[in-house]
Amino acid sequence: MEKIIKAIKDFDNYIVTSHINLEGDSLGSQLAMANLLKCLGKNFILLDNDKVPSRYHFLPNVNLVQNKLNAKAKGYEVAIVLDCPNLKRTGRVKQVVDKMKFVINIDHHVSNERFGDVNWVEKEASSVGEMIYKLYKGLDCRINKETALYLYISILTDTGSFNYNNTSSATHEIVSELLGYGIEPYNVSQSIYENKSLDEIRLLGKALSGLKLALGKRVAYMYISKKLFQKTRTRMTACENFVNFARSVKGVDVAAIFTEDIKKSGLFHVSFRSTKDVDVNKIASAFGGGGHKNASGCTVRGSFAKVKNRVLRKIDEELRAKRLTACR
């Protein structure tokens, strides 16, 4: 962290970005970083591949996030890349990052490729939001209610509302402090998780009706096609947490959701969740993706049938390897 602090002090103009398909941690950590840079008197632009999902529109200053790779980026010298295991995951913004004089990489994914000039990868951290909290303390910047909200959302969403095994005693201590700024957990949870449109609920219903079991009922998977998005008038961000429904099926060790890209033909985004003992990061990494042991993702090209078969074969390999290890 000391090298990150020095680098932030040494430069003045920053591009802050994260991975495609923004979610709570990638968005919350960026907005918290923006307030940190503001505290230090730095100039910054928040630049992302995708628009902010509607469920996060309640956040203050969310309009700071830009999506156009325009001339405003000229004159900026440093990129801060948050919550992103590799630069490809920044999407179109990679074009901008590649031109930067210096890259700061802050992440908690075990699969991080250490692509920065300075890298701070803390795989034990619950979220990048938890790491940004430590930066505030290290740089002696004051946390206000707005920043506390950003950090709280980062931690809340990336721990699955404190249900995942990346939730530590330190996580709870940080959250306890953040709640002291007047955050109302019920209102936050309602805004994120209980604010779906009727079309989004219908999409969930269609996805659940197509849920299937495989590999001796140890794997549950769902498929959401481009046509289904069009039929329900929804966007890809609507199915952010659908995979957790598949994981909740009794006896299932690995859950997967195959989401067909709306804009690009033959492209599938695959999200994995697993029980404590199965490492889905290994599965995702085989397809150029990555993430955490129990929550990972990747993007695979091909027809749905071929993509599904390739992914199920890899899951089968991992489950077999796990059984062999357990027998030794």
Instruction: Write the pLDDT tens digit of every residue in 49-64.
Output: 999 998 899 999 999 9
Radius of gyration of the chain (CA): 20
> Which tens digit of pLDDT belongs to each residue from 37-51?
999 999 999 999 999
Tell me the three state secondary structure of residue 216.
coil
Percentage helix, strand, coil for the chain under 3-state DSSP, each rounded to 5: 45, 20, 35
Mean predicted lDDT score pLDDT of the chain: 92
* Residue 259 CA to its chain's centroid (Å): 16
With tokens 């999902």, the residue in question is 53
Reported confidence tier of residue 72, pLDDT bands at 50, 70, 90: low
Reported confidence tier of residue 325, pLDDT bands at 50, 70, 90: low
The pLDDT value recorded for residue 327 is: 54
pTM of the predicted structure, to 2 decimals: 0.89
> Which tens digit of pLDDT belongs to each residue from 240-260?
889 999 999 999 999 999 999
> Which tens digit of pLDDT belongs to each residue from 260-285?
999 888 999 999 999 878 999 999 99
Residue 171's Cβ-count burial label (10 Å; 0-12, 13-18, 19+) is buried
> Which region holds residue 277: left if phi is over 0, alpha if psi is between -120 and 50, else beta?
alpha
Q: Rounded to whole angstroms, how far apart are CA atoms 131 and 16?
A: 15
State yes or no: pLDDT of 324 exceeds 90. no
State yes or no: pLDDT of 110 exceeds 70. yes
Q: Measuring CA to CA, which residue among 323, 316, 315, 298 is closest to residue 85?
A: 298
State yes or no: pLDDT of 326 exceeds 70. no
> Under a CB-based contact definition with an 8 Å cutoff, are residues 232 and 199 in contact?
yes
The pLDDT value recorded for residue 49 is: 93
Q: Please, what are the domains in the chain?
A: 2-193 (3.90.1640.10), 198-327 (3.10.310.30)
**What is the distance in angstroms between the CA of the first residue and the CA of the last residue of the chain?**
39
- List the 13-17 sheet strands across, edge first: 65-66, 43-47, 13-17, 78-82, 102-107, 118-121
The arithmetic mean of pLDDT across residues 230-245, rounded, is 90
> Which tens digit of pLDDT belongs to each residue from 180-198?
999 999 999 999 988 889 9
